[in-house]
Amino acid sequence: MSDRKQSPWIQVGRYLSLAIMLPMSSVAGYAIGYFLDQAFSTHILKLVFLVLGSVAGLVQLIRGLGKE
């Protein structure tokens, strides 16, 4: 980042997006798995996509915190 001090609202927005990223990626993964389970008449895809969404959200959270 630059040496200038950033606006507090910019910082709030950045950290709020990081805080929302993990739960929303988990919900999105679960939703994808749920609809695929309905389409293919299975019961395991919800869990698989929940884990994949959670891992993806965690990776993005780590990347976002690493930029600070």
Q: What are 26-51's pLDDT values in tens digits?
A: 999 999 999 999 999 999 999 999 99
How many domains in the chain?
1
41 in any annotated domain: yes
Residue type, 52: L
Residue type, 55: V
Q: Is residue 39 classed as helix, strand or coil in its secondary structure?
A: helix
22: its two tokens: 């993990």
- pLDDT above 70 covers a percentage of the chain that reads 93
53 in any annotated domain: yes
pLDDT of residue 4: 62
pLDDT of residue 6: 81
State which residues form the domain around 38: 21-66
7 in any annotated domain: no
The alpha carbon torsion through 62, 37, 32, 67 (nearest 10 deg) reads 10
Q: With contact defined as beta carbons under 8 Å apart, do 11 and 28 qualify?
A: no
DSSP state of 3: S
- Please tell me the pTM assigned to this model: 0.81
